[in-house]
Amino acid sequence: MRILCTNDDGIHAPGLKIVEEIARALSDDVWVVAPELDQSGVSHSLSLNDPLRLREVGPRHFAVRGTPTDCVIMGARHILADHPPDLVLSGINKGRNVAEDVVYSGTIAGALEGTILGFPSVALSQEFSMETRHAPLWDTALKFGPDVLRKVIAAGVPKNTVINVNFPACVPDQVKGVLVTRQGKRNQGFLRVDERRDGRGNPYFWIGFERVAVVDIPAEGTDLAALAAHFVSVTPLRLDRTDDEFSEALTMAMK
């Protein structure tokens, strides 16, 4: 099995080494094509107005000056064009990708692009807490990642589906198991715009996050609830975002 690994945190990110190690538990034919620079939050952006620079940083390891989407395309259609991958892994992201994160995440986008190109694809993320922010518990992903992937592969991933895996912010021995979940929804009240001034007094802004005074209780069966209870969350996400139920109502309204 040929495995293509990418991420959005960049070619030198610790999580990329972890996903490569997980991949090597499944196969010895592992290739890494990742962004030259941190691309967190770029979603599914594609570089159309700038050229892509490709740099070989080691055997089967390449850096692309572009987005995770660019990396998967370069890997599958250029570097591995003669023998495309059988599986695409994106991660392991430093921080969870759950709820609305899946819309913004470059990690999810890397896996989505693999799905678009016709390859079974999995996004993997390691949640951290305030205490583990600067030292995520990568051992949790290392312990559970290979077995989760084996079961996902055995189940057979539909062609229009990407698998989103999140590991909880606890040591491996505290993980209670693995749950198949649905995408959750969080309160977006923690988003804020931080205004600052540069050396000349001109304003500039950061989109930031603040800690909420009251933490919402996540809905049962969601990715948020699974992580809160120290379960590994496995969420199948559909590439087709059509709202079939509302389509029927809208069709009636158009008559």
Give the C-alpha separation, 24 to 213, whole Å.
43
H/E segment holding residue 117: none
The model's pTM = 0.93
Give the containing element (helix H, strand E) for 115: helix 106-116
Residue that is written with structure tokens 């923690």 in the block: 190
Lowest mean pLDDT among 64-68, 141-145, 245-249: 245-249
Q: What is the C-alpha separation between 60 and 31, in angstroms, rounded?
A: 5
Give tens-digit pLDDT for 82-136: 999 999 999 999 999 999 999 999 999 999 999 999 999 999 999 999 899 899 9
How far apart CA 227 and CA 186 sit, in angstroms, is 13
Q: Which is more confidently placed, 189 or 135?
A: 135
